[in-house]
Structure 1
Amino acid sequence: MSRLVARRLRWAVLPLLIVGLVAGCRSEVALSANDERLQVITTTGILRDLVSNVGGDRVAVSSLVPDGADPHSYEPSLRDIRDVVYADVAFSNYLLLEEQAIIKALDANLRDGVPNISLAEGAVKYAAEIIPLVEDVSLDTIWLGMRVRGTGAMLGANRASDVLLSATSADGPGGVVAYLTESFGNPSFYVDSTDGFDPANGYRDDTATLPPDAHTHMSWAFTKPGVYRLTMRAQLAVDAQSPPVAMGEQVFTFAVGVDPHSVPGMTGAAVLNSGHADLTVDLDQRRLYLFADPEGSGEANQRVYDPARTVVEVPSKALLEVPGDRKFRFLGRPGTQVYQLPQAVLGKHVHGEIDPHLWQNVRNAISYTELIRDTLIAADSQGAPAYRSNASAYIRELEQLDAYVRDTIARIPPSRRHLITTHDAFGYLGQAYGIQISGFVTPNPATEPSLADRRRLVETIRNLKIPAVFLEPGLAARSTTLTEVAREEGLRICSIYGDTFDRDVTTYAQMMRFNAGSLHDCLTGDN
């Protein structure tokens, strides 16, 4: 029986509700039951391009995240779900690159037996190199986020499971709000004590939802000085059918604008006031604690802190004025002062400990290509000769691309090989080709940058004699602090591509060539 006939028979009973809903959304369909070719779904345009080069005419390939959209935050549409349903093969990057809703769309809607390949993890077997995700912790105050540690495998958790971290009560002189500033400046709330806590709805209004083995940044605002005690509980939702599993409850203490060493009942407690810390759910130990690196020196130096013996300091220098934008009236009237620990990384930014942007090293893209080739061969053995031939030709092209990027960047004087940008997507580029990641600046639009923030950026630029800064085209409009400083210092503002294509750059090879050329021209001063 041909693949076309088999697919037609298989989908003759496709649920009418899904078809009707999707058809009403968008008329064009990238993947189809009436197409003889192998139907492949990818999460991003970069992966779509790699698959197209290997699959050639034997595959029809579509990506869930459209070009120009951010894979960290894109929410799949009904049309996207339809493409997943029709897919014969699926490729994601994973390592928590994609928004969790994208992963859920794949895992919940792929047919049984369809290969569902996480390329970043699988490519390690093909000699791909992975590096830790390094974050800049050179802030005046502590970075405080939320984290999930452990896999929860003994409880049946998988990458589509949810960890629910809920605030159930708050005691203090004012309100406490934990919120995330989305990519376009809109706040998304995780904790808001100003409107109370509602046990009747399961504290859903004060709950952060994270996948296993992830963490997220956020801002923490306190409306008055004093001591706050925030009670948090955690649950694991293994799947949509099973009731959540309790992971424990814990009280976290904050000293806001007061001496952290004089908190009642906390004599001799550890004080966290710098570096990076997270309110952490441990799925394997089924408990909550603080996981912190006070020195800001990296994941290897993070350790567990008992919340009962630890105070998080929110110092007086965290006092900021509420901006005029109506979106932030929840903090108070414009000009009102609040104490705030900044989010530090702009936009929705849930991630793990491994940098997921492997393709910024072309050698890793070659590993992806080899894994894609073998996956397509396993799904369509008749196409094996074509897939091998296409992959060999594309790998030769990628090897030439790797040499081009390496040679182009090597022509930049070593003293000028410094990258300052807005997004932490270029660690692999820096490691593979000798570019120093000297900073990525992601201003929080909820507040005006402090004088210390701006002074530190200016000092870095002046000390390193930075001639240019780099913005991803999709992020340039909201990178106001970096663009303002660059203009004041007379620096060039240049483009660089990280996660997605646009109308000007439409293939992976073109993207990497553009990045190499932009770095060379802007850092050497060539036109």
Structure 2
Amino acid sequence: MRLAGRAAAAPAVAVAVALAVTGCAAPETLSASDDRVQVITTTGLLADLVRHVGGDRVNVGSLVPDEADPHSYEPSLRDVRNVVYADVAFSNYLLLEQQSVIKALDANLDPDAPNISLAEGAVKYAAEIIPLVENVALDTVWLGLRVRGTGEQYRANRASDVYLSGTAVEGPGDLVAYLTESFGNPEFYVDSTDGFDAADGYRDDTATLPPDAHTHMSWAFTEPGVYQLSMGASLAVAPDERPVALGERTFTFAVGVDPHSVPGMDGVEVLDAGHADLTVDIDTGDLYLLADPHGGGDAHQQVYDPATTVIEVPNKALHEIPAGEDFRFLGRPGDPIFQLPQAVLGRHVHGEIDPHLWQDVGNAISYVELMRDTLIGVDPDGAREYRDNAARYIGELERLDAYVRDTIAAIPESRRHLVTTHDAFGYLAAAYDVRISGFVTPNPAAEPSLADRRKLAETIRNLRIPAVFLEPNLVTRSSTLTEVADDLGVRVCPIYGDTFDDEVTGYVEMMRFNAESLRTCLTEPAE
């Protein structure tokens, strides 16, 4: 059954990223001497689905081990070795996995092996997708960086890097654009305090993003007035290729002054609310502003020309620099500073679609159908077995879907409020009539702020929520959720999102467990 022509020995490993050896359990080993079809997946959940479809004809390993977080896992050298031996690869993608996982997969997989992005491919099998709609209920504009387009003419792929670089700032003070990592550590993208050096290919004062992603940022200005920030973009198709220069544009900020009075810009459009991004289109090379000023989501995004648009930083964005070493890069404690907030604390690079499709069992069925057809293409001799296995498993999943629906329906409607560690259960909510009433942070790598904590407590108190839900693999990062629950006298119950552990080892078991945990914990009275 082993594919003809595959070498018995591993080819040279093309390690595209810095690989860290982790302390997690090692994945199953793929082998060139194994006659079965060798399958690599990014997560254990996907591996479980493949095993049900492939049966005895496949040997399956996953890059992210159980109990690890796919949002932050760094692949090991053993993981790369498994990729080298794979006949087919399945990732979830839609930016679910850490970019280093995707780079390790794409750089080391045999070019002839199918490399399937399930979340995107499953749409052809009737999977239903949910856009990520972000909260724009802030007093000032959210401003980030974004990449649009595919870069097909440059042969760009999901492992390519797009560089967005500040090349110059003109204005009355300094401009610092930064991302607040977990625990408050800043990562600087643009910092005019130390000048600009673009001679090395825009690598100073630079943000690096994968294609079709965006990131939130904070923007700080030390003095009121008009600032003009020049930004350049380039695209590195592969790690060993020189970046291709794209466009360069200048963006204008009105900081604490009337945005309609900017010299040389009559009849300007002003961005003063909602979500906006300084955007590079890697298909055209253009840089522009892409904004959703009224909070309507993707359907309401508009392109704004930087030459006729002013980003307003109003006087209500004026703050005093807090005391403490963490904020010294902004100036001295007590000094005034204008700041557009990051809005989402912690690294939060993502795409436009919620990637957690499997929380709706109907979408898991679509994954199974795509896996079935992919395995048939790789191993036509096993077509009948793959079809039979998939049909049996789909029947089991259809019964699971009904069980989850009936179990959650037993919860009184007024109590179907889900409060979790991070925003990973939108599909569960949409498919089974549960309301996402709150989460500690939008992303599990983020360290919650005091405002996050206050909002969480107020939500639990106002809705009289009897229980909150914690993903077991995030226990070590869940102090805010458990402390707030303890203060309010509510239960902390388990729920599984991205990964398995020793207690829950398969997808069907996970979904049954989650439904039962919700029913048990939410039907009991609040204290």
After superposition, the Cα gap between the structure-2 partners of 1:446 and 1:307, relative to the gap in structure 1 and judged at 3 Å, is: farther
Following superposition, the deviation at residue 509 of structure 1 comes to 2.0
Distance 2:141 2:20 in 1: 49
Mapped pair 1:497 → 2:496: yes
Distance 2:256 2:448 in 1: 18
Structure 1, gaps ≥5 residues long: none
Name the residue aligned to 2:269. 270
Distance 1:472 1:275 in 2: 31
| 1:49–1:508 CA contact under 8 A, matched in 2 | yes
Q: How does 1:12-51 map to 2 (within 5 A)?
A: 12=9, 14-15=11-12, 30-51=29-50
Name the residue aligned to 1:383. 382
* Superimposed CA distance per residue, residues 373-423 of structure 1 (whole angstroms, 9 cap, x where no aligned partner): 222232223433443333233222222221121111111222222223343
* Superimposed CA distance per residue, residues 416-443 of structure 1 (whole angstroms, 9 cap, x where no aligned partner): 2222334332221111111122344428
After superposition, the Cα gap between the structure-2 partners of 1:70 and 1:246, relative to the gap in structure 1 and judged at 3 Å, is: same
* Superimposed CA distance per residue, residues 106-156 of structure 1 (whole angstroms, 9 cap, x where no aligned partner): 222111311111111221222211222222222333222111122232443
Q: How does 1:36-75 map to 2 (within 5 A)?
A: 36-75=35-74
Bigger mean CA deviation after superposition, 123-132 or 374-383: 374-383
Q: How does 1:224-243 map to 2 (within 5 A)?
A: 224-240=223-239, 242-243=241-242
Name the residue aligned to 1:510. 509
After superposition, the Cα gap between the structure-2 partners of 1:473 and 1:446, relative to the gap in structure 1 and judged at 3 Å, is: closer
Following superposition, the deviation at residue 85 of structure 1 comes to 0.7
| 1:137–1:275 CA contact under 8 A, matched in 2 | yes
Bigger mean CA deviation after superposition, 440-449 or 242-251: 440-449
After superposition, the Cα gap between the structure-2 partners of 1:28 and 1:66, relative to the gap in structure 1 and judged at 3 Å, is: closer
SS at match of 2:303: strand
Distance 2:517 2:106 in 1: 38
Percent identity over paired residues: 71
| 2:177–2:217 CA contact under 8 A, matched in 1 | yes
Distance 2:448 2:491 in 1: 26
| 1:22–1:82 CA contact under 8 A, matched in 2 | no
The aligned amino acid for 1:100 is: Q
After superposition, the Cα gap between the structure-2 partners of 1:188 and 1:498, relative to the gap in structure 1 and judged at 3 Å, is: farther
SS at match of 2:199: helix
Name the residue aligned to 1:208. 207
Name the residue aligned to 1:118. 117
Distance 1:23 1:420 in 2: 33
* Superimposed CA distance per residue, residues 231-262 of structure 1 (whole angstroms, 9 cap, x where no aligned partner): 11112333345543333111222233444444
| 2:150–2:282 CA contact under 8 A, matched in 1 | yes
| 1:328–1:446 CA contact under 8 A, matched in 2 | no
* Superimposed CA distance per residue, residues 459-513 of structure 1 (whole angstroms, 9 cap, x where no aligned partner): 5445544333334344455456655554554443433332223344332222222
SS at match of 1:201: coil
Distance 1:45 1:346 in 2: 28
The aligned amino acid for 2:37 is: L
After superposition, the Cα gap between the structure-2 partners of 1:249 and 1:446, relative to the gap in structure 1 and judged at 3 Å, is: farther
Name the residue aligned to 1:352. 351
Distance 2:438 2:59 in 1: 40
Aligned length: 520
| 2:20–2:76 CA contact under 8 A, matched in 1 | no
| 1:141–1:315 CA contact under 8 A, matched in 2 | yes
Distance 1:341 1:474 in 2: 33
* Superimposed CA distance per residue, residues 351-383 of structure 1 (whole angstroms, 9 cap, x where no aligned partner): 222222110100110111122122223222343
Distance 1:422 1:172 in 2: 41
Name the residue aligned to 1:425. 424
Mapped pair 1:407 → 2:403: no
| 2:13–2:81 CA contact under 8 A, matched in 1 | no
Distance 1:517 1:376 in 2: 33
After superposition, the Cα gap between the structure-2 partners of 1:124 and 1:257, relative to the gap in structure 1 and judged at 3 Å, is: same
SS at match of 1:205: coil
CA RMSD between the two structures: 3.4
Bigger mean CA deviation after superposition, 135-144 or 481-490: 481-490
* Superimposed CA distance per residue, residues 275-298 of structure 1 (whole angstroms, 9 cap, x where no aligned partner): 111111123332111111111121
Distance 1:431 1:121 in 2: 19
The aligned amino acid for 2:12 is: P
Following superposition, the deviation at residue 4 of structure 1 comes to 8.5
Following superposition, the deviation at residue 207 of structure 1 comes to 1.4
Name the residue aligned to 2:102. 103
Name the residue aligned to 1:188. 187
Name the residue aligned to 1:365. 364
Following superposition, the deviation at residue 526 of structure 1 comes to 6.4
Following superposition, the deviation at residue 325 of structure 1 comes to 6.7
After superposition, the Cα gap between the structure-2 partners of 1:271 and 1:393, relative to the gap in structure 1 and judged at 3 Å, is: same
Name the residue aligned to 1:292. 291
Distance 2:521 2:437 in 1: 15
| 2:39–2:59 CA contact under 8 A, matched in 1 | yes
Distance 1:254 1:149 in 2: 23
Q: How does 1:424-463 map to 2 (within 5 A)?
A: 424-442=423-441, 449-450=450-451, 460-463=459-462
After superposition, the Cα gap between the structure-2 partners of 1:473 and 1:268, relative to the gap in structure 1 and judged at 3 Å, is: farther
After superposition, the Cα gap between the structure-2 partners of 1:423 and 1:268, relative to the gap in structure 1 and judged at 3 Å, is: farther
Name the residue aligned to 1:150. 149
SS at match of 1:254: strand
After superposition, the Cα gap between the structure-2 partners of 1:38 and 1:481, relative to the gap in structure 1 and judged at 3 Å, is: same
Name the residue aligned to 1:524. 523
Distance 1:370 1:360 in 2: 17
| 1:423–1:440 CA contact under 8 A, matched in 2 | yes
Distance 1:210 1:503 in 2: 35
Bigger mean CA deviation after superposition, 204-213 or 114-123: 204-213
Distance 2:428 2:4 in 1: 46
TM-score (norm 1): 0.87
After superposition, the Cα gap between the structure-2 partners of 1:428 and 1:166, relative to the gap in structure 1 and judged at 3 Å, is: same
Following superposition, the deviation at residue 165 of structure 1 comes to 1.0
Following superposition, the deviation at residue 445 of structure 1 comes to 7.0
Name the residue aligned to 1:91. 90
Following superposition, the deviation at residue 516 of structure 1 comes to 1.7
Name the residue aligned to 1:77. 76
Name the residue aligned to 1:197. 196
Bigger mean CA deviation after superposition, 79-88 or 53-62: 53-62
